[in-house]
Structures are given as structure tokens and as C-alpha cells.
């Protein structure tokens, strides 16, 4: 297949590119390093800094891979690349992924909304105008649903009202501007799908952890940049860095916030499953992309227990929650669809935590303790 990967340098984009390169597809990787530049602007550094995209691509066996530095929120440049490549499928990761960054202030909030909506709009309109058969695979987030007091279904819910029934998008209620931008994306995509008979898969993913896209890979050129800072690090990756650095784990508030988590290895497997099972024309296919539910307290306890085995003594500290979010809530989300299509989950075992900790330990000198405590609050 001819596949475009937008946001190919990111935490999910680079591992996805590496994995798909082994499948003989023709790939066009796109990124304009927005996140990298934001990290610099806010004095945050990832644990691992990658070589240039072109030098990493040369290390891949597949020679049918090209990289273009394009801003997906700029229609002129993006549409030109789309038209000349004419993809069969596009994997869309070209979004700012951070709730704390989006809530930092007006500039950051608008930048998140603008970047995410424009890139999604540019892509779906290119598909409609130039290649309506193209399958768009879009990364959504479980955070679109929020924490409702009923079970979370996979994207859709049947509503019965005054003796009539209809299927609607499951109600959405985000707790940050970033998550809200994802809700707006989903609405935009559903509008285009139903009007123009397009095919879109929207993956509602939970927080991701890990550094490898595949257990067989050990060359760090094939690992993504790994953020552990207060703005761009996800909770479990942050906790393991904190543990290795001897900093108490930063449990926000009561620690009873529950989310659905997924190993990076499974993210990449899910993208493969989505590619092999394209949404039908006129359908917005939604999957809940996580494998296990944990509270923040459970995550912290798991890190403590696992790392004791390698003589790392982990401290846990509850700190004032910098976010407005429910700290005691019902959470039961369905995640059957990916499993039915063949996903065999890589679960969060002690070995997985230790493996991530060993990678971090190798780079311990790069840990900047000043970028751990939360600076963005709302």
C-alpha cells in the first residue's frame, strides 16, 4: 500500500513508521517538528534525542520511504504532497497531544485547537477532493468520553427517546482543550463521512507507555523521542523516570483517577489491524484502543513493586492535583473490537516496567529534575 504517516517523528509516529517499513509498503513520512520546537521553547528535553529523520530512514531496509518536512496545518503545502503521492491510507498523528500544554494559557490553547483542527480539516478535504477511496486512520483519545457514570461504548450508543431509536456518537465531555480538540476532530470527520461517503477509522486511545514498537528491536535509532516532562510525558513513563531518578512519584490528588492504558507495542499492532480492516465507505469506525484499566494509585504501586526486584526503592507522594478532573468516579470502558480482530494485548507486567526502567537508567544522566513537577494547572 501507499501510506502517508503524518506526525512521523512523534512518540507514536516514528515507531509506526519503523514497523510499517518492514511490511514492504511505500511510505511518505511527514513532520514539521512542531512538538520538538515547543519542547525547546519551554525548556523541556526528551530523554532520547533522535538523529535527523533522513539519516534514520537510511537505516531502514525498505528503500521505498521518503520524508517531507511539511506543516499539515498549511493547506497549500500539504495538499501538494497529498496529490503527488495519492495515498491508499493516511495515518494521522499530526496533532499536539498534550492536555497540560493546551491549558497553559491562551496562546497554547489556541495553538492546540488551531493545529489539530486545521490538520484534520486539511486531510479530510484532500481525501474528499482528490482520493475519496483513501482510508483515513486518525488518532483520537479515550479522553473524549471523559469519565461518565455509565459504561463507555466503542464510539456509538443507541438512544431510545419517546418510542423512537437512533444510534449516535457516544456523548463526549473532555477535561482539557487538547481533549476538546479531539472531540471537534471526531465531529468534523463524522460530518465529512456521512456527507461524502468517505472511510475513516478513529482510534480512541488511552495513555501510552513504553519505548519499543516491538520486542525484537534494540537499536535506539528505532525508538521514539521519550518525554517525561510535566507537559508532554504520560503518567506511567513519567513515574518510571521519577523512580529511576529517585524522585517520589507524582500522584495527582487522590490518585483514584482511572484510565485505560496501552503499551506502545500494542499501539503499533492496532494501527496494523486498522490498516488491514479499513472502514467501509460512508462509515466512521471507532475503536477504543487500550488494553487495561488502572487508577493512578495502582500504577504507582505497580512501579514500586516491580522496581523493588531490581533494588530500586520507589517513593510515592500525593500532591495537589494541578488539573480539574474527577478524582472519584465510575469507569468501565469497552475494548473488544481490536481483540476480535486479533489484538493479543501486551500487558503491564513487572518485566515490562523493569525493561523500561533499564532503558531509562542507561540515559540517567539526561534526566532533568527541574522539568518533573507540574507547572501547568487549571
The reply on whether position 250 binds ligand USQ by CB under 6 A is: yes
Report the residue from 27, 70, 296, 352 that binds ligand USQ according to the rule CB under 6 A.
296
What's the order of all strands across the beta sheet hosting 208-209?
Answer: 208-209, 258-263, 292-295
The active-site residue, picked from 145, 170, 178, 261, is: 178
141 noted as active-site residue: yes
Candidates 68-76, 211-219, 233-241, 358-366: pick the segment binding ligand USQ (CB under 6 A): 233-241
The reply on whether position 142 binds ligand USQ by CB under 6 A is: yes
The reply on whether position 126 binds ligand USQ by CB under 6 A is: no
Candidates 63-71, 123-131, 204-212, 351-359: pick the segment binding ligand USQ (CB under 6 A): 204-212
Closer residue to ligand USQ, CB minimum distance, 109 or 207: 207
The reply on whether position 291 binds ligand USQ by CB under 6 A is: no
The active-site residue, picked from 34, 112, 141, 201, is: 141
The active-site residue, picked from 182, 212, 269, 302, is: 182
The reply on whether position 206 binds ligand USQ by CB under 6 A is: yes
The reply on whether position 7 binds ligand USQ by CB under 6 A is: no
The reply on whether position 44 binds ligand USQ by CB under 6 A is: no
Number of residues in contact with ligand USQ under rule CB under 6 A: 21
The reply on whether position 323 binds ligand USQ by CB under 6 A is: yes
Q: List interacting residues with ligand USQ (CB under 6 A).
A: 97-99, 141-143, 179, 205-207, 234-235, 238, 250-252, 257, 259, 296, 323, 325
Q: Which positions are catalytic?
A: 141, 178, 182
Amino acid at each position: 500500500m501507499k501510506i502517508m504517516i503524518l506526525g512521523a517523528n512523534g512518540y507514536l509516529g516514528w515507531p509506526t513508521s519503523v514497523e510499517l517499513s518492514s511490511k514492504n509498503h511505500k511510505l511518505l513520512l511527514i513532520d514539521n517538528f512542531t512538538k520538538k520546537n515547543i519542547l525547546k521553547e519551554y525548556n523541556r528535553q526528551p530523554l532520547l534525542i533522535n538523529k535527523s529523520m533522513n539519516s534514520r530512514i537510511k537505516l531502514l531496509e525498505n528503500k521505498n520511504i521518503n520524508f517531507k518536512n511539511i506543516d499539515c496545518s498549511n493547506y497549500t503545502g500539504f495538499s501538494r504532497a497529498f496529490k503527488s503521492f495519492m495515498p491508499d491510507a493516511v495515518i494521522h498523528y499530526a496533532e499536539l497531544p498534550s492536555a497540560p500544554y493546551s491549558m497553559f494559557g491562551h496562546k497554547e490553547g489556541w495553538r492546540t485547537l488551531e493545529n489539530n483542527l486545521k490538520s484534520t480539516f486539511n486531510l479530510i478535504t484532500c481525501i474528499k477532493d482528490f482520493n475519496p477511496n483513501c482510508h483515513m486512520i486518525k488518532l483520537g483519545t479515550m479522553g473524549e468520553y471523559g469519565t461518565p457514570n455509565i459504561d463507555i461504548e466503542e464510539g456509538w450508543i443507541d438512544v431510545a427517546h419517546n418510542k423512537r431509536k437512533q444510534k449516535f456518537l457516544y456523548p463526549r465531555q473532555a477535561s482539557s482543550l487538547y481533549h476538546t480538540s479531539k472531540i471537534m476532530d471526531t465531529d468534523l470527520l463524522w460530518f465529512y463521512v456521512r456527507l461524502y461517503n468517505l472511510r475513516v477509522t478513529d482510534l480512541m486511545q488511552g495513555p501510552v507507555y513504553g519505548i519499543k514498537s516491538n520486542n525484537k528491536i534494540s537499536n535506539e535509532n528505532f525508538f521514539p523521542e521519550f518525554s517525561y516532562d510535566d507537559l508532554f510525558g504520560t503518567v506511567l513513563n513519567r513515574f518510571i523516570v521519577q523512580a529511576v531518578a529517585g524522585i517520589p512519584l507524582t500522584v495527582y490528588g487522590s490518585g483514584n483517577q482511572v484510565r485505560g492504558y496501552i503499551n506502545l507495542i500494542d499501539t503499533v499492532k492496532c494501527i496494523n489491524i486498522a490498516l488491514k480492516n479499513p472502514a467501509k465507505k460512508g462509515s466512521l469506525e471507532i475503536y477504543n484502543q487500550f488494553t487495561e484499566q488502572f487508577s493512578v494509585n495502582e500504577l504507582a504501586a505497580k512501579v514500586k513493586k516491580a522496581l523493588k526486584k531490581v533494588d530500586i526503592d520507589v517513593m510515592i507522594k500525593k500532591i495537589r492535583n494541578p488539573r480539574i478532573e474527577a478524582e472519584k468516579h465510575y469507569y468501565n470502558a469497552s475494548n473488544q473490537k481490536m481483540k476480535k480482530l486479533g489484538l493479543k494485548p501486551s500487558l503491564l507486567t513487572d518485566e515490562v516496567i523493569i525493561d523500561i526502567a533499564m532503558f531509562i537508567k542507561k540515559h540517567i544522566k539526561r534526566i532533568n529534575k527541574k522539568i518533573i513537577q507540574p507547572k501547568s494547572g487549571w
